[in-house]
């Protein structure tokens, strides 16, 4: 609790992890059960759906069923169609809840393509090979192509009321975002497009992503976990949820570690992540067994409850969401 006896302002940032994101969904479901609500939710890539459901109080109701559906569809339909189908199914609930008066701020990270030549590649037949090369670059830490052609862009449902500065504030092409408070605005009208863009890993997603006529690709290339952006909203407690037992990094190139117990913009960072690689349960990034998904979700539930037990001052005495 704060000195005045009120609950501190909480932010939650959920890292991407493809199917391993089922662990984070379990954590968020436990939070919902315990009344641990955040004023700000930050999401990227595969965390968009689970984070959005948590923000509107529907994480527990959806549970692991979404992840079973996604894993089953990945092999048969391809990842683009899996994500587009999920947005079609869950989009109405999220659009209805996220933009209501009194809803928490929702941040949705993407990677904007910054020049026409790169846009042509990412939207065309060369995208798959480029995506494979960018994955290979993870092992060498080579971020050259990303730095030259992509920019992290985090959309906010509160953009017109925010007061914090954008990392792209000097970009004339996005001066309209600065006028709305420093971030491009997430709206019911662009929510589906931004959500898909955030997930589009080029090596496996065949359908190009555009928002407002501009090319976008997966957030993970530039912002796999928008912890800094959530911290910049003025939260005092920042809960970061990872999908691996390894350190949580800002992007897939490990450019910046998000450290448990550290401070970002005045917010104390609390990291929750699985103790073991979810592969031991049968859950990998792009493939998972039904039993493994259920087991990983239950691990997340247990981790979320342990966290709540240790920090009762973060719980909302008004009770849980979605009841």
So what's the pLDDT on residue 7?
Answer: 85
For residues 31 and 81, which has the higher predicted lDDT (pLDDT)?
A: 31
CB 60 within 8 A of CB 32: yes
Q: Which of 22-31, 72-81, 275-284 has the lowest mean pLDDT?
A: 72-81
Q: What value does the mean pLDDT of the chain take?
A: 90
The tens digit of pLDDT for each residue in 129-150 reads 999 999 999 999 899 999 999 9
So what's the pLDDT on residue 285?
Answer: 92
pLDDT tier at 318 (50, 70, 90 boundaries)? low
> How many CB atoms neighbour CB 190 within 10 A?
16
pLDDT tier at 5 (50, 70, 90 boundaries)? low
Please check the confidence at residue 223 and state whether its pLDDT lies above 70: yes
Report CA-CA distances (Å) from 200 to 38, 128, 254, 262: 27, 11, 19, 31
So what's the pLDDT on residue 166?
Answer: 37
Q: Report the share of the chain in percent with pLDDT over 90.
A: 81
What sign for the dihedral angle of Cα 184, 185, 187, 189? negative
Helices (H), 3-160: 22-34, 47-55, 59-62, 65-77, 79-98, 116-123, 127-136, 144-149
pTM, to two decimals: 0.90
Please check the confidence at residue 178 and state whether its pLDDT lies above 80: no
Please check the confidence at residue 301 and state whether its pLDDT lies above 60: yes
Give the length of the chain: 323
pLDDT tier at 319 (50, 70, 90 boundaries)? low
**Beta strands at 10-14 and 40-44: parallel, antiparallel or unpaired:** parallel
Please check the confidence at residue 291 and state whether its pLDDT lies above 90: yes
Averaged pLDDT for residues 189-207: 95
Averaged pLDDT for residues 219-230: 98
In DSSP terms, which residues pair with 154 in a beta bridge?
109
Place of tokens 């662009």: 190
So what's the pLDDT on residue 172?
Answer: 35
pLDDT tier at 65 (50, 70, 90 boundaries)? very high
**Beta strands at 214-217 and 105-113: parallel, antiparallel or unpaired:** antiparallel
């Amino acid at each position: 609790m704060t000195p005045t006896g009120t609950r501190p302002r909480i932010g939650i940032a959920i890292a991407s992890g493809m199917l391993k994101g089922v662990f984070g969904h379990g954590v968020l479901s436990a939070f919902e059960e315990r009344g641990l609500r955040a004023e700000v939710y930050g999401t990227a890539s595969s965390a968009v759906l689970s984070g959005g459901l948590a923000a509107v109080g529907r994480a527990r109701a959806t549970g692991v069923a979404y992840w079973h559906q996604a894993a089953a569809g990945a092999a048969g339909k391809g990842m683009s169609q899996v994500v587009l189908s999920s947005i079609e199914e869950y989009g109405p609930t999220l659009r209805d809840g996220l933009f209501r008066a009194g809803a928490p701020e929702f941040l949705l990270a993407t990677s904007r393509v910054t020049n026409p030549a790169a846009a042509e590649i990412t939207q065309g037949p060369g995208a798959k090979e480029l995506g494979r090369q960018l994955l290979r670059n993870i092992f060498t830490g080579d971020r050259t192509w990303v730095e030259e052609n992509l920019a992290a862009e985090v959309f906010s449902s509160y953009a017109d009321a925010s007061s914090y500065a954008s990392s792209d504030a000097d970009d004339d092409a996005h001066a309209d975002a600065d006028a709305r408070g420093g971030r491009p605005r997430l709206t019911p009208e662009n929510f589906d497009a931004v959500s898909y863009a955030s997930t589009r890993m080029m090596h496996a997603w065949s359908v190009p992503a555009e928002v407002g006529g501009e090319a976008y690709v997966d957030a993970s290339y530039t912002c796999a976990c928008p912890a800094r952006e959530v911290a910049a909203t003025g939260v005092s407690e920042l809960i970061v949820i990872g999908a691996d037992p390894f350190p949580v990094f800002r992007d897939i190139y490990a450019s910046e570690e998000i450290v448990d117990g550290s401070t970002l913009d005045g917010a104390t960072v609390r990291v929750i992540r699985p103790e073991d690689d979810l592969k031991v349960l049968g859950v990998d990034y792009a493939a998972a067994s039904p039993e493994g998904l259920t087991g990983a979700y239950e691990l997340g539930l247990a981790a979320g409850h342990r966290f709540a037990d240790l920090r009762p001052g973060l719980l909302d005495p008004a009770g849980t969401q979605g009841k």
